[in-house]
Amino acid sequence: MLTKIKNLKIDKRLVYILALAAFFILVRISQVDFLGDNAHYAIRSLGFVDHVFSDQQTTPLYWYEHFPWWANFSFHDQPPLLFFIQHIFLLARESIFFAKLPYVLLSLGTVGLLYLICRERYGQTMARWSALFLSLNSIFLYSARAGFMEAGVIFFIALAVYFFFKFLQNHKFWWALGLALGLCFLAKYSTFFLVPSFLVYIFVTDRRLFKTKKLYLAAALSVLVFSPVLIYNVMMYKTTGHFDYQFSRLFHQASPWVASGVTGVGNPLVLLKNYAAGANYLYLFLALAGTGFALFKKKLRFFGLGLLFLILFFLFTGAAVQHQNLLNLFLAPGLGWLAANFSSKKVFKIFVWTTAVYFFLFAFNSHILIKPVLERYSGWTVSAAPSVNRGIYQLDRYLDDLIEKENIKSVRDGYAEIKSKKPSLKRKYGTKPEALEIPYRQYPQMIIYDDNLNWFAELWPYKRRRFYHNLPILSTEELRRFLEDIDIDITYYIRATDNTYLESEGVRQDFPDNFEGFLTAKGVEPIDRIYRTDGAEAFRVYKIDAQYAR
């Protein structure tokens, strides 16, 4: 074993490619704000708790007086694996960086796995180019930088593909294939497209495998690994009459969730156009051209099949920009094959390297520059999925400092009933003894936030602190409703400006504007201003004494 490790040769160019990918992913990664599903995935992972902070998506925590045993096996809307992985990292440190760190590592692992897959089947040159083009893909970078689950999903897909080819070479890897495929299913349901991809590829290349017992052992193992989610859904159907959120939408079942049925993209051209706007139009064209040329020569057949079934899956289910990251695993080899086979002649070599430099500049403009240039040419000069800062990271840092400096203490747990159903939550995040010393509904300090801030943007800075740390934080709407019932000595009002991520105009409320106008009329000036990375003012902070609180 030690001899093998000593004799292991590391491709230095792969190390350079991984360093390049790490550079693009890590630069100012914490300043790429949580502005979507990544926000509630991270906040739920922190306590490994299925609580979405929304009346539109209640969970088993609300439905049962005693939390059922089977509800620990999964989450109501997604399988549990990536929640658990993110939870492990957040146990080390509760911060935006550590919430994203697993996706950084898994994304770098994806680059390495794609290199290994391509090297073993198509040679080192093609492997290097494929890894490089994946590392320069803006949707791939965006998913990791923003901390979306798809940055982890693509890793487990690559792992399953790697062991699928290992299994084709030697059937002793049946257990690795079964385990990897099961982990894919535990990561996200969007990995189901791998099943027809594997089966059709076997049918086309070597259908004798269907008579091999180890293929069915691999399938059985994958089902066994996925069984916690199957048990979760069976028991949910038995007790409620519907499956989890995703499957209930798929089968158009009546459920407590306010959501329409599954609606897909419908038109493949729309899907590809949306992908190109995020990844780059030339990137998509060359990737499809390379895949086409390779298929003509009976190469990249599996990647062609995977791309086909994934597109069909998205046409049925829909695909936001972060979901489109999965396409990259099947498109980057097309670019790698094109570069490896057409760079022998000088004129083509110049074109290949010029294209690589162009993709580098495209990614640099989209993710590294604070103010991207030529933003109106989306898909050509800048990605439609750039790394965005709207001041949420700076708000989070400001709240850390404010709470420490002003010694803002926790209060009685407003979620005690929910936490009591999960003893681990109650032990770690329940009411602290010192909070019981504060008279009920009396608050020495209170943080009030602007309810016109987008719901996703509220989660990490405000609702995380309120749910897990029991800090006295209310929205302006809650303040308006409960003002007569509570006593507050000092209030910190954090007003969101148009430069941050607000709700759409149609659903905004007047009270936050009116409250700020009232304070201005009374001569209360902001004590602090919070700025985005580009210098624009995102929030204004007011300190209000008790005389102005009513």
How does pLDDT run across 498-543, given as a tens digit for each residue? 999 999 988 999 999 999 999 999 899 999 999 999 999 999 999 9
Q: What is the mean pLDDT of the chain?
A: 92
How does pLDDT run across 462-493, given as a tens digit for each residue? 999 999 999 999 999 988 888 777 788 889 99
In whole angstroms, what is the distance from residue 102 CA to residue 108 CA? 10
pLDDT at 254: 83
Assess contact for 449 and 391: CB atoms under 8 A.
no
pLDDT at 455: 95
Highest mean pLDDT range out of 64-68, 263-267, 332-336? Answer: 332-336
Strands 487-496 and 442-449: parallel
pLDDT band at 5 (very low <50, low <70, confident <90, very high): very low
Residue 234: pLDDT over 90: yes
Where b means 16+ CB within 10 Å and e means fewer, 230-268 reads eebbebbeeebebbbbbbbbeeeeebbbeeeeeeebeee
In whole angstroms, what is the distance from residue 444 CA to residue 471 CA? 12
- Neighbour-count burial of 342, counting CB atoms closer than 10 A to its CB (0-12 exposed, 13-18 middle, 19+ buried): middle
Instruction: Dig out the tokens for 271 from the structure.
Output: 């899907």
263: left (phi over 0), alpha (psi -120 to 50) or beta: beta
* Nearest one of 463, 448, 443, 445 to 518, comparing CA atoms: 448
Residue spans per domain, the chain: 10-246+261-367, 392-548
Phi, psi for residue 82 in degrees, rounded to 5: -70, -30
How does pLDDT run across 159-181, given as a tens digit for each residue? 999 999 999 999 999 999 999 99
In whole angstroms, what is the distance from residue 398 CA to residue 402 CA? 6
In whole angstroms, what is the distance from residue 233 CA to residue 91 CA? 28
Assess contact for 451 and 427: CB atoms under 8 A.
no
- Neighbour-count burial of 438, counting CB atoms closer than 10 A to its CB (0-12 exposed, 13-18 middle, 19+ buried): middle
Residue 3: pLDDT over 70: no
Highest mean pLDDT range out of 47-56, 186-195, 373-382? Answer: 186-195
**3-class DSSP state for residue 280?**
coil
Residue 40: pLDDT over 50: yes
H or E element in which residue 312 lies:
helix 301-317
Residue type, 28: R
pLDDT at 424: 86
pLDDT band at 261 (very low <50, low <70, confident <90, very high): low
pLDDT at 260: 60
pLDDT band at 547 (very low <50, low <70, confident <90, very high): low
In whole angstroms, what is the distance from residue 278 CA to residue 380 CA? 9
In whole angstroms, what is the distance from residue 92 CA to residue 102 CA? 12
Which residues in 134-267 belong to E strands, given as ranges?
Answer: none
In order of 5, 387, 509, the CA distances from 456 in angstroms are 46, 16, 17
In order of 164, 209, 217, 446, 481, the CA distances from 538 in angstroms are 49, 60, 56, 21, 26
pLDDT at 258: 64
Residue type, 542: Y
In whole angstroms, what is the distance from residue 45 CA to residue 342 CA? 46
In whole angstroms, what is the distance from residue 231 CA to residue 73 CA? 8
Rg, C-alpha atoms of the chain: 26
In whole angstroms, what is the distance from residue 291 CA to residue 271 CA? 18
Q: State the DSSP code for 415.
A: T
How does pLDDT run across 373-404, given as a tens digit for each residue? 998 899 999 999 999 999 999 999 999 999 99
pLDDT at 509: 92
* Nearest one of 323, 334, 341 to 284, comparing CA atoms: 334
In whole angstroms, what is the distance from residue 29 CA to residue 23 CA? 10
Residues paired with 545 in a beta bridge: 490
pTM for this one?
Answer: 0.95
pLDDT band at 1 (very low <50, low <70, confident <90, very high): very low
Determine what percent of the chain is predicted with pLDDT higher than 90: 79
SS (H, E, C) 193-213: HHHHHHHHHHHHHCHHHHHCH
